[in-house]
Structure formats: C-alpha cells, structure tokens
Chains A and B, each alone.
Chain A
C-alpha cells in the first residue's frame, strides 16, 4: 500500500509541475501583454513608462528565466502582486477567499453523493423500473441543462418574484446584529441556491456512474456465487455488489473536483459570493496575470489534493491494494 501511495504521490507531483509549466507558458507566450490592460485605457502611457512597468513586473526577462524565478518565488508562496489598484500579494487575495469556496464545494459534494449513490444503486438493481426510467430522463435533462441559466431562473423566481431567498452574497446586511442561531439560519438561506445549483450540476453524472459501476458489479461471477450459496438478495446487492461498486466511486470523487471548482466561477459570479471563482472572473476581466496564475496553481493544488485523498481512500478500501 505504501508502495502504491508513494507511486501515486510521485505521479501527482509530476502532474503538478506539468500544470505550472503548461499554465505559465500558456499565459506568458499568448499574444497580448498584461501591461495592455493598464496601457490601453491610459492615454498618458508612453513606451518609456510601459518599459518601466515591464521591468518592475519582471516582464523584460526571457520566458524560461521568468519561469524559474516564478518557481523560486512559488516555494515561498509568493505569486507576485496583483495588478489591480490595491496591489496586494496575489496569495493574500486568494487565501481569504479559499474557505468559502471550499465550504460550498464540500457541502455540495456531500449532498451529491448522499443523493446520487442511492439513485444509482436503485436504477441498477431495478432496470426498466419507473424510477430507472425517471433517472435516465433526469440524466439527459441534467446534462443538457445550462446550469448558469437554471441559476438565473431560480434567482428570478425564488429571489425576485417570490422573494423567499436572498439573491446574492453570503450574509444579510444586518448579519452582525443577529443572534447566533439566526446567523446560522441566515447563512443557510444565502448558501441554499449556490449549493443547490452545484449539486444539480454534478448529480446526474455521478448517479449515472454509480448506476454503471453497480450494474458492472452485479454482472460479476461472484454475485452468482453469492446467490448460489443462498444469500438473501438484500445481502447480495448491498454487501457483495455495493462494496465493489463503491470503489470506482471513490476515484470519481477525486476526479470530480476540477468540475466542481469550474462551476464555482459561474455560480460565485451569479450569486456574488466572494470566493476564488469570483476572484478568477475579476482577475480575468482585468488581465491580472499574477492573480490568474496563482489561481490556476492553487486550484490545481486543491484538485491534486482531492485526487490524493481519493487515492488514499481507494487504497484503504480495496484489499487488493491494501494487503499484498
């Protein structure tokens, strides 16, 4: 198992450097310069001032040198300063926004599995039943639905027309004056729609996946063995098949992190949630290159960390890896 995990960790480490390499060169070699954002809008910008800017941001050096400088600084978590007017270090800006994004995605992940796993099991065990057919239809609807549109429609109906949920932000204006129980209630009301939308976005994929791993498990020969020894069907399904079907689901948990975080950009923008997704949107709008690069790297670290957790979970759950 240690062997397996150290191999996985090494793979993740290589992947991580690959990501920094790909994204660094992508950002730095693309046509258009970060200074454009400042200069385009500034009538007093002259080539000389521009050169000063570039020197100040280290843009005058060749790109591979800049990559090594970037790596060196990265080891100190120094991603450079934001190009925006506040000029704060990129890491500081991200750091304060990470918790809310992680919180929303973790809660969403919890609900996704809470709902998707039973749905998947049920439609695998009873193929062609009404609920299986509903699941199939649900999968199509879920895949085809533009989630940001659903978010807007719900915002309009629940927030504007019916006025039962807040449309944006994570706290009401009078949050500070509320009792602690009302504070929790207030947060729940604000987080309901973002979480609902995130869960909706990933639910169908996971339940479909659960359905197919469960079907796969149920078609294995050990299931016939289990039935042949006279085990009740409930044990055959919920012990023998499920225990095997859940293994690939553990891996999928790790792999679903990038999708969830991608979704954060959209729902944080729509619901004005001060997380890393919204920051990426703002940074992209302002071509704030240091913040963008820091975002990509931090989010990739999160993703890889999710993968590592999934690998550990898998290694613990599968005796073929745990016991040699």
Chain B
C-alpha cells in the first residue's frame, strides 16, 4: 500500500533518486572529484568555469567542483547526525511528556515553549561563539535546538495511544512503564517522526550552510557548501561561480529532501500534519 501510493507520486520518486545520488556522491567523493580539494595552486587562481575546471577555481586556485563534491560529505553528515540528535531528544522527551502527563508534561512543554521563544539562530551563535565552532559542535547544537517539534508530535501521538486497549491490556498484565513506552506505544507513534526526520535533514543542511556562511560553522580548509560560499563572497564581483554553484547544490539537496519527505507523508497518511 505504501509503495503503491509512493510510486504514484512521480515527484517524490525523483526526490528519492536525487537523495540516493547525493549519498553516492558523498561515498564515492574520492573517485568522482577530478582534483584534490585541498591542493592550492596559485597559478590557477579564480579561473572561470571551463574545460580544465568545470565549475572554476577559488581564490587559492582550488577546484570548485572537487571542493563541492567533498562538501557533500559534510553537508549530508551534519544534516543527518544533527537531526538524529534532535530526534532522539524529541522522541524521549515527547514520550515521557505524553505518557506521564501532569507535572512532568507541563515542565517539558514549558521547556519546549522556552526553546521556541528564543530565536534559534541567536542561541546557536551564542553557543558557537563561546565554545568555538567545530563540525561536532555544530551538529550537536543544531540537534539541541531542533527537537521541539518532534517532541510535540510524539507527545500528541502518545496522548491518544496511551488510552487504547492494547496499552491498557499491557498495563493490566503488569508491564513496566519503560516496556509500555518503548515496546507498545512508541512503534505506533513513529509515523510522523519519519517524515519530520527527512524534512528536518533539509532544515539542518540549511542551518549549517547559514552558520558556515557567517563563519560559525565548518571551518576552512574543510570544504562545506556554506563556507565555499563565504570564501566566494569577497570575490563575487569578479568570480560569480564561487557563490552560484554551492547555493544551487544546497537548494537542490534541500528540495530533494522536501519532495521526498512530502511524498512519504502523503503515502503514509495523507491527513498527517507536520
């Protein structure tokens, strides 16, 4: 049923293929990249796109295409790991909140409100400014500031599921809370989580590129799409390709994730609201 409906959605299938393609690019980066992304060549500085360098070179003569191919690794892994962190936090807090209710629920939901009231970017910049940016810190803080919507979704599912017969039955035979939460309720509450995970990857990639763009994300010389853009900004009047291509890469990646996520949402449950 899921596959049948999913396959009918041409756009979503294209999104899925593109996402797979991006993973292939990330995995086979060393084979695909025409040059070493870190090799500085001062004789080839700011070359416009041409036969030798398809997407041109940057201010240090590095091949833009090669840097972008390696940048795929960074963007995808940050997107994935950051959202994995957010999902774990969100699922745990949402489950506890929805299952136990009462004071714990109010406390957790208040924390959600607090987190949603602080502009995320402010929090991110604050932490990164103090701790100092690194790939791991970036993943971690994006995860820490992105769990709230997942917690809400899981909580809502729990609120309805915990009243169901099978949960009452499990409780009546004396199953522990942990067992009820993880074995009985959670597997049934995950549908909206899958979708928000995939949509979240796109959000995290955008967030990382924004942070890298401001200089608080992945630090050079490690190539990420965001910091290629930043480096190019200084030269944008003479070397438009430095800002054009990384932006397109971010855009297409996020677009693929969104249409894939949307396709999965419609195939799973057209009424699902994320």
Query: Which of A14, A140, A143, A255 meets B116, CB within 8 Å?
Result: A255
> Chain B: which residue is nearest A259 at the CB level?
B119
Chain B contacts of A231 at CB under 8 A?
none
Task: Given A143-B258, A144-B258, A284-B125, answer yes or no on A30-B130 (Cβ-Cβ < 8 Å).
Answer: yes
**CA of A283 to CA of B125, assembled, Å:** 10
In the complex, chain A residues 159-178 whose Cβ is within 8 Å of any chain B Cβ: 160
Task: Say whether A299 contacts B255, CB under 8 Å.
Answer: no
Chain A contacts of B250 at CB under 8 A?
146, 149
Chain A contacts of B209 at CB under 8 A?
146, 148-149
Cβ of A19 < 8 Å from any Cβ of B? yes
Cβ of B170 < 8 Å from any Cβ of A? no
Task: Given A14-B110, A15-B113, A262-B120, answer yes or no on A149-B214 (Cβ-Cβ < 8 Å).
Answer: no
Min CB–CB distance A101 → chain B (angstroms): 11
Chain B contacts of A30 at CB under 8 A?
127, 130-131
Task: Say whether A140 contacts B118, CB under 8 Å.
Answer: no
Chain B contacts of A284 at CB under 8 A?
125-126, 128-129, 216
16 example contacts (A-B, Cβ-Cβ < 8 A) are as follows: A15-B113, A18-B111, A19-B114, A31-B131, A141-B255, A144-B255, A146-B210, A148-B209, A258-B119, A259-B119, A262-B119, A265-B121, A269-B214, A280-B122, A296-B126, A300-B118
Task: Say whether B123 contacts A296, CB under 8 Å.
Answer: yes
Chain A contacts of B118 at CB under 8 A?
19, 22-23, 258, 296, 299-300, 303
Task: Say whether B114 contacts A212, CB under 8 Å.
Answer: no
Cβ of A273 < 8 Å from any Cβ of B? no
Task: Say whether B247 contacts A296, CB under 8 Å.
Answer: no
**CA of A221 to CA of B252, assembled, Å:** 41
Cβ of B184 < 8 Å from any Cβ of A? no
**CA of A15 to CA of B114, assembled, Å:** 5
A-B contact count (CB 8 A): 148
Chain A residue total in the interface (Cβ 8 A): 52
Min CB–CB distance A116 → chain B (angstroms): 18
Chain B residue total in the interface (Cβ 8 A): 49
Chain B contacts of A249 at CB under 8 A?
none
**CA of A244 to CA of B211, assembled, Å:** 39
Contact with A along B84-123 (1 / 0, CB 8 A): 0000000000000000000000000011011111111111
A145-B254, A265-B125 given; 20 more Cβ-contact pairs under 8 Å: A27-B130, A31-B131, A32-B130, A140-B255, A140-B258, A140-B262, A144-B252, A144-B255, A144-B257, A145-B251, A146-B209, A146-B210, A146-B251, A148-B210, A149-B229, A258-B117, A262-B121, A269-B214, A283-B129, A303-B119
In the complex, chain B residues 172-224 whose Cβ is within 8 Å of any chain A Cβ: 202, 206, 209-210, 213-216
Cβ of A115 < 8 Å from any Cβ of B? no
Chain A contacts of B132 at CB under 8 A?
32
Cβ of B244 < 8 Å from any Cβ of A? yes
Cβ of A1 < 8 Å from any Cβ of B? no
- Summarize A's interface: helix, strand, loop or mixed: helix
Cβ of A11 < 8 Å from any Cβ of B? yes
Cβ of B53 < 8 Å from any Cβ of A? no
**CA of A155 to CA of B255, assembled, Å:** 23
**CA of A212 to CA of B271, assembled, Å:** 11
Task: Given A11-B113, A144-B251, answer yes or no on A149-B237 (Cβ-Cβ < 8 Å).
Answer: no
Chain A contacts of B110 at CB under 8 A?
11, 14-15, 18
